[in-house]
A and B are shown apart, each in its own frame.
Chain A
Amino acid sequence: MASDSSPANFNNGPSSPDDSFSSPIANTSSPAHRRRRGRRQASTPSSAAATPPPNPSRFANSASTPTPARSTRRGHRPGPATSPSPAVAATPSSTDDFSMPSSEGGEDMEEATPTFVWGTNISVQDVKNAIQMFIKHFRDPQELSNDIYGEGKYTRLIHRVLEVEGEWIDVDAHDVFNYDSDLYNKMMRYPLEVLAIFDIVLMDIVSVINPLFDKHVQVRIHNLKSSTSMRNLNPSDIEKMVSLKGMVIRCSSIIPEIREAVFRCIVCGYHSEPVVVDRGRISEPTSCLKQECLAKNSMALVHNRCRFADKQIVRLQETPDEIPEGGTPHTVSLLMHDKLVDAGKPGDRVEVTGIYRAMSVRVGPTQRTVKSLFKARTYIDCLHIKKTDKSRMTAEDPMEVDKGSQRVDDDVQFDEDKVEELKELSKQPDIYERLTRSLAPNIWELDDVKKGLLCQLFGGNALKLLSGASFRGDINILLVGDPGTSKSQLLQYIHKLAPRGIYTSGRGSSAVGLTAYVAKDPETGETVLESGALVLSDRGICCIDEFDKMSDNARSMLHEVMEQQTVSIAKAGIIASLNARTSVLACANPSGSRYNPRLSVIDNIHLPPTLLSRFDLIYLILDKADEQTDRRLAKHIVSLHFEDTEIAEHDVIDLATLTAYVSYARKNIHPKLSDEAAEELTRGYVEMRKRGNFPGSSKKVITATPRQIESLIRLSEALARIRFSETVEMRDVTEAFRLLEVAMQQSATDHSTGTIDMDLITTGVSASERMRRESVLSATRNIIMDKLQLGGPSIRLLELLDEMKKQNSSTEIHLHDLRTAVATLASEGFVVLHGDSVKRM
């Protein structure tokens, strides 16, 4: 031992609390380790003599550098076995140290009075009293009213810990601050000392309550008043208590750290007393201690009688939102002990409270050189770790926003101020318009589309009946439009904004890529299920660009997803149904690249009507040759290129706030239909249905289907959510009707009649078209009856067409109309169709 400390004595200087070794890993003494050592020094003074007296220079440090003395003090936490007599444990042993010759003691000369925290004028007794007062008398302000004379919060906690035989109590630093801000400040500045005293006080109390309790109860401070950013840690923080947020990126394997070693003499079999770790080292006896034996170099370690403790090194990295532009994330090492080991896994976002420590590193431990490289390695001795991930999200509410890894911390987002701010925002009368404006502000016009998208972002309430039937709350939207109408930009924007959005392009997506696929692990032969885009965007928005270019096979997978919100897999021995509670936002180009207004939506985009009907809103974004719009576009682009000062968009909510707003609303607001809103919905729906019945006409046009009323409910719920309102009001319903109407007007309008016709969406054929087909059919039938004999010669289709045109000059008949009509007749068995010739049967 002695030979160890002498060459390393310069190490003792600044920042190494109690270590002076080549392998600093071993010196990161855990609280437990420090305790043990303290006990040993207190109980077996003889062995303490074996260690060289600590170099007095260690204690003479300026305030900015860590004071090893403090850690020494912490080292004197009483061990569980010692009778908790703090006065003995805390002070006398430190006087031991202090009584060492200290010629260069420097400015800190309070050592004469051992009851002061080293290098300060903080009295140990004062701190002790303060802590005792705190534990005994602190009461949670919230429960103050209940019972003034009852036990304090922490007294109760201690009782509970004793009952469950716990090893620590969590102390909220806010409580300490509220009770005694002076104590809090002392704790922040001299955590090692104050915590040591805290522990002593705690043990005192424990021993009073239950003298037989032999576990050591430690205090764990958490929830500091202020948390530091990893970037701002600097030398002045050394030996201070800090709180950091970050993401665990790496955990070392668990390192067993020896605490007590037992040696056995291989000559005589004598077992030594447990040798306790001292500053990271075990001093192996060089000879047998048994007087009769005294064999040299005969002692061997007995592994299974040694005592080990767990230790783990964890690396914490800054979260992406803290990285400044043009920087890389910083990392910091954490040292975890005992119960904290494996508390965080890579990828977890955590908030840790601990003591920032530094230790010196001497380079070239083998060389006893005067040249020394002096650097301080820093780490955080972890006291408390808290996961900030919200993985405990209840699965019952599908609309709850499960934060993906890219999202900002929940805690950051929803602290009280922020919530207040959001609520304030929601109270504004024009919040709906403002949000609309803030959505993709660089895309103009398209206000109704944006409103629809906004509804999609907020979403409706999902409903699950007891019978097992469920109604989705997600709103699906399809955008159809001419190229260059910024559909893709809208999609990109929503993708960026949406919680857990997945963006795919139709052409590049296969059915399995969207849903899930079964893969066989090449090595183990196990079948594994890999999630596709839709499953991955569960509780989010799946944006599919170029929807029309998707293969039919892939599209057919969407049927299930869009109504049932699950993906079912049945292959390779796996039968599974995966949740895919996702809103679909798709955009498609018309088949002829440009929208043909004379054709229906179905004809313009080659999508099966079954799929189309699952979209709540279908918007047509047509590029109208409008000079005004063009001019605005031109102006915008010119200013983009030539003006450095950007045209300030007024009254626009920034993206971060918008995201927070949406997330908060989705998470916390669950509007219910009010009676009058329900009334209005019924009335409006009936109205819509009625519109299909033209007076005096036998033609029956379906203008609304039950799917629409579901859509309407979802939309009105989303609209209420936008206002942070818990009830769906009349105006929400009115607006929902308007939105639906706008969307349907565009997409479901039958261009030959100008009325809304849901048949267009549901079957792809409008009612008027169907009537026309019927009239052609009957006309054809009549002509064939007239012209053709039963079993007589056949007639060519073109002749038939001429004949029909002669008879019905008023209506225009195309060959393909006729062909369909004849085909229908053929299926009735009325005629036989051979190529182009028709024969009556």
Chain B
Amino acid sequence: MGGPPYDCLVNPLGAVRLTFEKAIGSESEIPPIHPSAFNGKDWGALELFRHFLFQESGLSQVPILNPKTLRWVQPNSLVRYRGMIQDMLGNEFYAGAYKDGNLWRTNKFMDVSQYPMGSSPDMCIWERRLLYCVPVPGQSSWTEPSSEMEPNWSSQTREKRLCLPKLGCCIFQVPDDEIKNSPITKKMREDGLPSPSQSMDAKTTSSSSITSTFQSVDKDNLPCLVKIYDSPESELKLNDVFEFIGVLTFDSELAVEKDDNDELSNSFYDDALVHLPPNKVPRLHCLIHRKLAVQDFLPGSPIIEPKPHLVKETREALFRHLTAVLGNDEVAAHFVLLHLLSKVHARVDDVAVGKLSLNLTGLNKESVSVFGTRLSDTFKNLLPFTNCMPLTLEYLNTASLAPKKDYQANRLVPGILQLPEGSHLMVDETRLESGSLNSTGIENTKLLKNLIEFQKVEYDFQYYKVEMATDVQLLIFSEGKSNIVPADVIVPFQPSCLESTEMPVAEALEAWRWYLATVRSLPHSIGSEIQKVVEDDLVAARQTDRSLGSRDFSRWLTMARLISSSFGETSLSKKHWEMVKEMERLRRERLK
């Protein structure tokens, strides 16, 4: 553990140690500060890192932990990890500070103490939280930051070590987004993987250990066990997407740790840890964490002021693109645009205000294969998290949609509906055939219905269920109106041409992503005058058509808000209200 004292990147623990020693004061100091004063507190280490990361813009140099970078990052170095909190494994006690001879040492931010702590009688026990994080389900490839920074950060100390792994990464960096999912490239990458690591083995021994131990990691799915220090519980919630910056620890001895443990002791201990061997799940001792919004995924995102003309232009372009994707169906394109902008912005009793789920009807298996794929590709390019669900009978009967607690493993087994805020979910009902549902199927349909109606998913803790609020945009393709997943808006889809659209240019895509992310979070209000107009319209509408209910009104108002936002405006205008009514009229005409 050498390195310059302040190299936060390569030797963050050195920095931690240094600040600790500084804070604890020298032995001669009277009275000496007892480390128990630092229980649940920071002694200045975080400040140092904050300064390094944000003031000195060190953030971009910190490698993001993913299957690719895992091959070359060093244990005990600073890494970033972006993921969703999938499970909370409770708290862990550890010996936070202990006396080594006459010196106090700390174990904070590490798994293994750096000094023998054998005979140390003085010890403080501190607490840290364990979070099990996984990559966000359905994360689009564009959100993954480019790996350009690799050369940068390696520049300081270990050029020699990194040249080979870097090569290894570069070779397989080429097959990106589009070809990524083809099985051939996948196979190629997997096959190709051992060669760089083998050559690495020859060169560097220290990095070889990590490479070989992490080989069992699923190539596309890297979970991470994050250890959180000193932060209030309410800050980190289940299903939140966070970026954790901290120390990656790894000790090869820990890898074999559990092998000789008998079943008995497993049942006693944190079973979860037994099921998460360190060679499959890297540990990250988090120094700094921040919640990620969609904007944070935009590459190189200096926050751009949403200027009205800019917003309008982007909206126009995006609308044209959606129309083209939807085979020149403008009405559908309008609704899809609003649908993409929707989010739950308030909850009153059971009502999730602001959601706008969309059901495109009139599709069959054939047309879904054309438009569904097209739309799904488009969404993947526009939204950070997209998921698809083929709603077949078999799927309903077998899939585990809700997360379920497995008490044997003491883990929350993820379900398909465990999605972070702002996810998009496409449900393809066209392939559903008649048949009978088993109990799982019934449970699953209930879950879907609850999700779309209340934006809530019941997590199964076996002895009881816990309702978790979600915010998922749902788009349903079906032949007729879907009753399993009853959406807010039903739009019969009427494409007029089948021509495929050309791929939009990268700049346009970036602008659209920015537009969707920014406009979604705009505040909104209503003036008292327009409020009166809206109310009158609602009353009048109900007087003429008694079948209109609060659901319809709710939908209209959601649409009004979204239309208004889509133009970058923060309060509803008469014009936009008229637009809502016009859209609703066009939609109703189609329904007839």
Check B267–A313 contact: CB distance below 8 A. yes
Check B90–A330 contact: CB distance below 8 A. yes
In the bound complex, CA of A375 to CA of B273 (Å):
12
Check A376–B95 contact: CB distance below 8 A. yes
Q: Which residues of B contact A634 (CB under 8 A)?
A: 534-535, 538-539, 542, 553
In the bound complex, CA of A60 to CA of B539 (Å):
79
In the bound complex, CA of A333 to CA of B269 (Å):
8
Interface string of B524-560 (1 = CB under 8 A from A): 1110000100110011001100111110011001101
Q: Is B172 an interface residue (CB 8 A)?
A: no
Our pick among A57, A250, A364 for the contact of B253 (Cβ within 8 Å) is: A364
Enumerate B446-478 residues with CB–CB distance to A below 8 Å. Answer: 461-466, 468-469
Q: Which residues of A contact B121 (CB under 8 A)?
A: 13, 57-58, 60-61, 104, 106
Tell me, rounded to whole Å, the shortest Cβ–Cβ distance linking B279 to chain A.
14
In the bound complex, CA of A726 to CA of B354 (Å):
48
Check A373–B254 contact: CB distance below 8 A. yes
Interface string of A318-345 (1 = CB under 8 A from B): 0110011111111101000000000000
Residues of B bordering A, CB below 8 Å = 34, 36, 39, 87-88, 90-95, 98, 107, 111-113, 116-127, 233-234, 237-240, 251, 253-254, 256-257, 260-262, 264-265, 267-270, 346, 348-351, 353-354, 407-408, 410, 412, 461-466, 468-469, 524-526, 531, 534-535, 538-539, 542-543, 546-550, 553-554, 557-558, 560-561, 572
Check A328–B88 contact: CB distance below 8 A. yes
Check A640–B94 contact: CB distance below 8 A. no
Check B535–A635 contact: CB distance below 8 A. yes
Check A363–B253 contact: CB distance below 8 A. yes
Tell me, rounded to whole Å, the shortest Cβ–Cβ distance linking B133 to chain A.
13
In the bound complex, CA of A255 to CA of B263 (Å):
12
Q: Which residues of B contact A313 (CB under 8 A)?
A: 267-268
Our pick among B265, B348, B349, B548 for the contact of A25 (Cβ within 8 Å) is: B265
In the bound complex, CA of A164 to CA of B346 (Å):
62
**A interface, over-half SS:** loop
Q: Which residues of A contact B92 (CB under 8 A)?
A: 375-376
Our pick among B93, B462, B524 for the contact of A376 (Cβ within 8 Å) is: B93
In the bound complex, CA of A786 to CA of B270 (Å):
98
Check B94–A374 contact: CB distance below 8 A. yes
Check A65–B125 contact: CB distance below 8 A. yes
In the bound complex, CA of A482 to CA of B264 (Å):
62
User: Which residue of chain A lies nearest to B354 when distances are taken between CB atoms in the complex?
Assistant: A641
Enumerate A1-36 residues with CB–CB distance to B below 8 Å. Answer: 9-10, 13-15, 23-25
Q: Which residues of B contact A469 (CB under 8 A)?
A: none
In the bound complex, CA of A717 to CA of B550 (Å):
36
Our pick among B95, B408, B554 for the contact of A14 (Cβ within 8 Å) is: B95
Check B253–A358 contact: CB distance below 8 A. no
In the bound complex, CA of A372 to CA of B353 (Å):
53
Check A377–B269 contact: CB distance below 8 A. yes
Interface string of A395-409 (1 = CB under 8 A from B): 000000000011000
Given contacts A57-B119, A235-B93, contact A642 B535 (CB under 8 A): no
Q: Is A664 an interface residue (CB 8 A)?
A: no
Interface string of A232-253 (1 = CB under 8 A from B): 0111001000000001011010
Q: Given A376-B94, A627-B543, A630-B542, 14 more contacts at CB 8 Å?
A: A9-B119, A10-B117, A23-B264, A25-B262, A60-B121, A249-B463, A313-B268, A320-B465, A326-B238, A364-B256, A375-B94, A631-B535, A638-B531, A640-B348
Check B554–A372 contact: CB distance below 8 A. no
Our pick among B88, B90, B112 for the contact of A371 (Cβ within 8 Å) is: B112
Check A370–B118 contact: CB distance below 8 A. yes
Check A373–B112 contact: CB distance below 8 A. yes
User: Which residue of chain B lies nearest to A6 when distances are taken between CB atoms in the complex?
Assistant: B118
Total cross-chain contacts (CB, 8 A):
246
In the bound complex, CA of A319 to CA of B463 (Å):
9
In the bound complex, CA of A373 to CA of B117 (Å):
10
Given contacts A324-B234, A374-B113, A375-B92, contact A62 B534 (CB under 8 A): no
Tell me, rounded to whole Å, the shortest Cβ–Cβ distance linking B194 to chain A.
27
Our pick among A255, A358, A623 for the contact of B125 (Cβ within 8 Å) is: A358
Tell me, rounded to whole Å, the shortest Cβ–Cβ distance linking A10 to chain B.
4
Given contacts A631-B535, A641-B561, contact A14 B461 (CB under 8 A): no
Q: Which residues of B contact A331 (CB under 8 A)?
A: 90, 410
Q: Which residues of B contact A333 (CB under 8 A)?
A: 268-269
Interface string of A42-79 (1 = CB under 8 A from B): 00000000000000011011101100000000000000
Interface string of A345-361 (1 = CB under 8 A from B): 01100000000001011
User: Which residue of chain B lies nearest to A623 when distances are taken between CB atoms in the complex?
Assistant: B546
User: Which residue of chain B lies nearest to A325 when distances are taken between CB atoms in the complex?
Assistant: B237
Tell me, rounded to whole Å, the shortest Cβ–Cβ distance linking A512 to chain B.
14
User: Which residue of chain B lies nearest to A647 when distances are taken between CB atoms in the complex?
Assistant: B348
In the bound complex, CA of A14 to CA of B121 (Å):
7
Check B124–A65 contact: CB distance below 8 A. yes
In the bound complex, CA of A9 to CA of B542 (Å):
81
Q: Which residues of A contact B535 (CB under 8 A)?
A: 631, 634-635, 638
A-B pairs, top 3 by smallest CB distance, nearest first, are: A326-B237, A10-B118, A484-B549
Given contacts A234-B127, A255-B264, A633-B553, contact A324 B93 (CB under 8 A): no
Given contacts A25-B265, A635-B535, A641-B353, contact A483 B547 (CB under 8 A): yes
In the bound complex, CA of A374 to CA of B120 (Å):
12
Tell me, rounded to whole Å, the shortest Cβ–Cβ distance linking B260 to chain A.
7
Check B119–A10 contact: CB distance below 8 A. yes
Interface string of A297-315 (1 = CB under 8 A from B): 0000000000000000101
In the bound complex, CA of A363 to CA of B112 (Å):
9
In the bound complex, CA of A808 to CA of B137 (Å):
79
Q: Which residues of B contact A697 (CB under 8 A)?
A: none
Our pick among A347, A364, A371, A378 for the contact of B113 (Cβ within 8 Å) is: A371
